[in-house]
Every structure is written in C-alpha cells, then in structure tokens.
Structure 1
Amino acid sequence: MELIRGVTDRMSSMFSKVMQKRSAVCVLVGDEDPNVKGKINFIQEKDDSPVTIQGEITGLSPGKHGFHVHAFGDLSSGCMSAGPHFNPTNKTHGGPEDETRHVGDLGNVLAGQDGVAKLNFTDKVISLVGPHNIIGRALVVHKLEDDLGRGEGLKKPESMETGNAGPRLACGVIGIAQ
C-alpha cells in the first residue's frame, strides 16, 4: 500500500507541474535612447501551451520596431552584451508565423504617433520551461523594422541573421514573476 501511495504522490506532483501556470516579466530600459522603456509580461497556462505576451513600450519613434529574445541575459555592456537572437534550433531568421525562424524572433512592435506600443499577442515557439525557455535571457527592442528575413540584394545576409532591425534601443532580462 505504501508503494502505491508513493507512486500516486509522485504522479500527482508531476501532473501539477505540467498543469502549472507560469509567469515572467521583463522591464525594458533604454540603452541607445534612455527615453525608451517598458514592461512586458509573459504568461504560459501549461507547459505545452503558447505564451501570451502583454505590455507597453514608451518613447519609441512612430512605426515598427524589431522585437526579439536574445541569447544571453548579460547586460553588463548594455544591450550589445545580450548576444544574438535566441536560436537553439540553429535556423535562419524569420517572422513569428514562419516555420523557419529563431526561437527569439517575435517580429515587430508597432508604436503609434504617441510613441507607445501596446502588446497583446501569443507566440507558440517561445516557452517559460524546457529547451525554448526564455527566462534569464534578454528581450530587446530595435530601432528599425524587422524585415522578417525577407531582405533582398545586399541586405539579404543580414536579413537572414537579424532582420536588418538596426541598433538596440532598449533591453531587459526576462525574470520569473509571481
């Protein structure tokens, strides 16, 4: 009887972990432009469900800005020390709906004439657990629009790596939230 209770307790514990809602947060701080700042929340209802991304970024120029999870949570030398886009699957750069993309490719955020980008979308590739876990990595907002890996001519090589999104305006480390 004791053996059955032990197995049942372990299975119950494993099940609750799979069903556990997870949350993370990132506070963005301006690097190139100190006026750019924001707070982004990440919510994952279950380990295998998409991640909901909600928040607001202020101080942007109107228009689209590249938005990516980068490989490292190291901001010791500003946003540049965050490294390249988070890419554990070793794929080329793409858009958030593309099958071929970096895990960290979240596309663009759109700032209105007031310089504010309001975010509320889901992504099915990033995760708050497992090999695509973004916790501890940096979130970066770029100066330019991400071309989603569709750049042509001389811009093609950089397009396949960064989306030609330009300098890093603001960044922050994604951390576990309550």
Structure 2
Amino acid sequence: MKMIWTLGFAAFLAQGAVAAEVTATVKNTEGSDLGTVNVSDTPSGTALARIKLTNLPAGVHGIHLHETGDCSAPDFKSAGGHIAGDRSHGVMVEGGPHPGDMPNLTVPDSGDAELEVFLPGLNVEEHLLDADGAAFVMHSGADDYESQPAGDSGDRIACGVFAQPGG
C-alpha cells in the first residue's frame, strides 16, 4: 500500500510541476527601466510571452528574442542574433518564422504598451535557459517580416536579459 501511495503522490507532483518561466527587466540605451517581459511554457506546449513596457517612443517597433543573454554593449549587439533554430526570419517567407520572432509592437503616444504573444516554436528551457541565456530586444523601426536575417527593423533601442524568477 505504501508503494501505491508513493507512486500516486509522485504522479500528483509531476502533474503539478511548474512550467519553465523567465522574466527580463528591459532597459533603454540610457539604462532606464522600461518594464518587463515574461515568457513561460504552457501545458499546451506553446510558449506565452507577456510584455508590459512604459516610457517607449511612439510608433511601430520590431521586437524579438535574441540568442545571447547579454545587453552590455551600448548598442545591445552583445545580445547576438534572433533565436532562429533552423528557421528563416519572418512570417512572410517560406521556412519562417524564427522561434524568437514576434509581431511588431505598436506604441501609442502615451509610451505605454502591453502585448501577449504565443510563440509556438519556442521552448523556454531549450531556447532561453541554455548556457549563454537569451534576451528581449526592441528595435527603432518596424519589422518587415521578411528581410533576412532580422527584418530590417533598425537600431536596437531596448534590451533585457532573461532570468528565472528568484534567480
């Protein structure tokens, strides 16, 4: 009986296991905090990104998940390229999109923006918690969803390194 209870309890714990989750505190090129981006795996297998940013320049901006968790360079190029896997950039090309591609973020005159995005090709453990980490990057212009390798969306104007909550 003890073994059955132990197996049942282990199964209960496995079902209630917390999905992988990361959060990035996003800063602009001056080092000011702009808000957070949270990405979590869901029970369906599709990752969910929740973006909540303030004090942004109005307009349409490309946003992506980048392959290296490093925002130390003044131009944020230390974050590397998009999390690409074996995919091409953009939804407008065959073989796309990258797992780190997201839709453009439209920022109103208030400078505040919130967005939730499904990322079906992304796995938090595999893509964001690998040895060199990952970063969220916002660009000065809109992503055209097809130019290779990154959508021709302009300079990097904000960046945040992902970390596990409490980590």
TM-score, scaled to structure 2: 0.79
Separation in 2, partners of 1:45, 1:102: 19
Matching residue of 2:80:
83
Separation in 1, partners of 2:91, 2:54: 23
Greater strand fraction, Structure 1 or Structure 2: 1
- Aligned-partner SS, 1:45: coil
Separation in 2, partners of 1:36, 1:167: 18
Letter in 2 for 1:164: D
Separation in 1, partners of 2:165, 2:159: 17
Equivalent residue in structure 1 for 2:148, among 160, 167, 170: 160
Equivalent residue in structure 2 for 1:61, among 53, 57, 65: 57
Q: Are the equivalent residues in 1 in contact too, given 2:37–2:136 (CA < 8 A)?
A: no
How far residue 93 of structure 1 moved from its aligned partner, in angstroms, is 0.8
Equivalent residue in structure 2 for 1:110, among 84, 106, 110: 106
Q: Are the equivalent residues in 2 in contact too, given 1:36–1:60 (CA < 8 A)?
A: no
Q: Which ranges of 4 or more aligned residues in structure 1 deviate by more than 3 Å?
A: 11-17, 33-36
- Aligned-partner SS, 2:128: coil
Q: Which runs of 5+ in 1 are unaligned?
A: 150-158
What is the number of equivalent residue pairs in this alignment? 161
Q: Are the equivalent residues in 2 in contact too, given 1:35–1:58 (CA < 8 A)?
A: no
How far residue 83 of structure 1 moved from its aligned partner, in angstroms, is 0.8
How far residue 13 of structure 1 moved from its aligned partner, in angstroms, is 8.8
Separation in 2, partners of 1:84, 1:68: 9
Q: Deviations over 1:4-46 (max 9, x none)?
A: 87xx58x7499448x5333211100112x55572211223233
Q: Are the equivalent residues in 1 in contact too, given 2:102–2:117 (CA < 8 A)?
A: no
Alignment of 1:120-159 (within 5 A): 120-129=116-125, 131=126, 133-135=127-129, 136-149=133-146, 159=147
Q: Which runs of 5+ in 2 are unaligned?
A: none
**Identity over aligned pairs, percent:** 25
Alignment of 1:17-56 (within 5 A): 20-31=18-29, 34=31, 37-46=34-43, 49-56=45-52
Letter in 1 for 2:63: F
- Aligned-partner SS, 1:81: helix
Cα RMSD between the aligned structures? 3.0
Letter in 1 for 2:128: I
